[in-house]
Amino acid sequence: MKFTEEHEWLLDESGVITVGITEHAAEQLGDIVFVELPDAGTEVSKDEEVVVIESVKAASDILAPIDGEIVEVNEAIVDNPAMVNDDPQGEAWFFKMKASDPSQMDDLMDEAGYKDFIG
């Protein structure tokens, strides 16, 4: 698993990268009440806003962590946004993508680096 400074996690499974937010981010946001996901097939660039998430505390944008194409979205979290609070680094992933440049993953933090970052 890799992590961004924007509190996203990425898991590369045979070239398909699953993206979600970390437990730390979910805790900071509080109770999540709304999630808007991109459409599958959407081409995204690193740092482009791709997801809108709203909690009882704030609205927030989730940025594309790398360049690529969205190949699947998690409709379950649109129907039940509270899943993000319950299992942010598991069943409540946001989208899956194919990277245009997989080497961008090399610039991201590993788990130890992320723990130091939020520590």
25 occurs within a structural domain: yes
112 occurs within a structural domain: no
Amino acid at site 96: K
109 occurs within a structural domain: no
The domain total for the chain is: 1
35 occurs within a structural domain: yes
**Is 92:83 a contact under the CB 8 Å cutoff?**
yes
Rg (CA), the chain: 13
Residue 55 CA to residue 113 CA, distance in Å, equals: 27
117 occurs within a structural domain: no
Residue 7 CA to residue 57 CA, distance in Å, equals: 17
Fill in the DSSP letter of residue 89: T
CATH number, domain at 44? Answer: 2.40.50.100
Structure pTM?
0.94
26 occurs within a structural domain: yes
64 occurs within a structural domain: yes
- Report the alpha-carbon angle 40-61-24, nearest 5: 105
- The pLDDT-based confidence of 81 (bands split at 50, 70, 90) is very high
Check residue 45 and give its pLDDT. 97
Can you give the residue range of the structural domain that contains 61? 2-102
110 occurs within a structural domain: no
- The pLDDT-based confidence of 98 (bands split at 50, 70, 90) is very high
Check residue 13 and give its pLDDT. 92
